[in-house]
Amino acid sequence: MKVPDQTNTHMDEREQELEDLRRALGGANCDRRDLYISRLLGGGYFRSAQEALDTGEQYGLNFPNRYFLLLSARPETWGDLFTTGQMDRMDSNFILRNTLEDGLPGAVHAADIQGKMICIVNLTGLPESGLRGIVQDTRRILEVLETEFGITVTVAVSRVYDSILELPRAMKDVNQIYEYLAFLDEDRPITTYEELTHVHLMPSDTSYLELESRLLGCIRASDFEQADRVMHELIQGEFGDAKPTIETVRFRVYGVVNTMLYLMNDIRNVVGHELVNQIDPGPRLTSAGSLSEIVEVMDDIFSQLSAHTAQKREAASSPWVQEIMPYVDENFRDSNLSVSSVADHFGLSSTYCSKTFRDRYGIRLPDYIQRKRLEAVKELLRAGKTLAAIAEETGFTTTLTLSRTIKRYEGTTPNKLREALMAEQSR
């Protein structure tokens, strides 16, 4: 009978205890750093910039340069290692924190704040390319996180500030970016505050008052089909090609809601109190959290009003609706193909074109475009082509965009999708 080696057993137990202690101490140090950074971002805690810098040094955080910006990384998926239990939240945060700190220029310190990894980027000055250089570095980081670990994040980048005490304003910047993306239901890997300002986004040339007057005329004439069209024109003018700036998006969204609420009195006069109370437009509109939800509610309101007045529109059976699907089938490999370009081809507004397509085929037009592209992607994955070649041949502007689309629609990574397709083919 073999006697167990008690010495080796004790050594293994001791090494595990030391590893657990190192992990605990590392976690405690991160917690203290995160607390300091959260106080920096919250504002009002430090009386001077020097006090803030001196306190940072006590935690091993140095900010030797003049300029500051914040980069916020919000995890969307933690990857297969996390979902299978091979990594926990601390491991995932460690990977995310270190990848960001190592991949960004200047002195970079990151903290886990309210479920987001917030990086303070301390720069001597912006590169000649401005924030484009930061965005390029960040895009490379996202590709590493996606391909190596399956971690998908959405990144927001603040404006540049010249004092550590301005970091609360930078925090407000990144929160506004996330709010902007949520309002407009946009899925962007990286968004900078700068690109959402008036310098980069031209104001709408649509006359809001003129469209509002037309809308009121349609309602008073009980033409709710046309009212729906005009409402989509109004939304297209406010949120289409000439998108609102980050400073005005909230007010434009509220403006559309207030317009609809203002028109409810006129709608009551046309269809009566009972139907309006049944539709319940007020609470439904004010509780909508994004533009797409507001549009969905308004579409439903007008649809019910049209049904009540026996004036349902017949656009869903019009010849041009039947031509959209073949047009997409023929042109989906063009990276410039979008809801907007399809609508332009048929002389329609984007929102109205997409809604009518959904009414006819039961799928949103942007989803149909992506599904067509993914069908081609799967064929090319089976053929063993590289992601770069596949992206170029199927209408995706970058491999990162391709990866995010596969993650969104197929729930997996490109490599795992390839493996599954190859396994299926070999059966």
pLDDT in tens, 192-225: 999 898 766 666 666 778 888 888 888 888 888 8
Domain ranges of the chain: 16-196, 208-312, 319-426
Q: Give mean pLDDT, residues 306-313.
A: 61
Q: Is the pLDDT of residue 70 over 90?
A: yes
Domain 319-426, classified CATH 3.90.1170.50, yes or no: no
What's the rounded Cα separation, in Å, for the pair 369 and 285? Answer: 29
Q: Give mean pLDDT, residues 103-111.
A: 90
* The pLDDT of residue 16: 55
Domain at 16-196, CATH from 3.30.1130.10, 3.20.20.140, 1.10.580.10, 3.30.70.1230: 3.30.70.1230
Q: Is the pLDDT of residue 376 over 90?
A: yes
Q: Give mean pLDDT, residues 233-255.
A: 84
* The pLDDT of residue 347: 83
pLDDT band at 93 (very low <50, low <70, confident <90, very high): confident
* The pLDDT of residue 180: 93
319-426 has the same fold as 16-196: no
What's the rounded Cα separation, in Å, for the pair 326 and 51? Answer: 65
pLDDT band at 64 (very low <50, low <70, confident <90, very high): very high
Q: Give mean pLDDT, residues 118-146.
A: 87
Apex 385 CA angle, 381 and 389, nearest 5? 110
Residues of the chain with pLDDT > 90, as a percent, come to 30
The per-residue pLDDT for range 144-176, each reduced to its tens digit, is 998 888 889 999 999 999 999 999 999 999 999
Q: What is the pTM of this model?
A: 0.70
Q: Is the pLDDT of residue 325 over 60?
A: yes
Q: Give mean pLDDT, residues 179-186.
A: 90
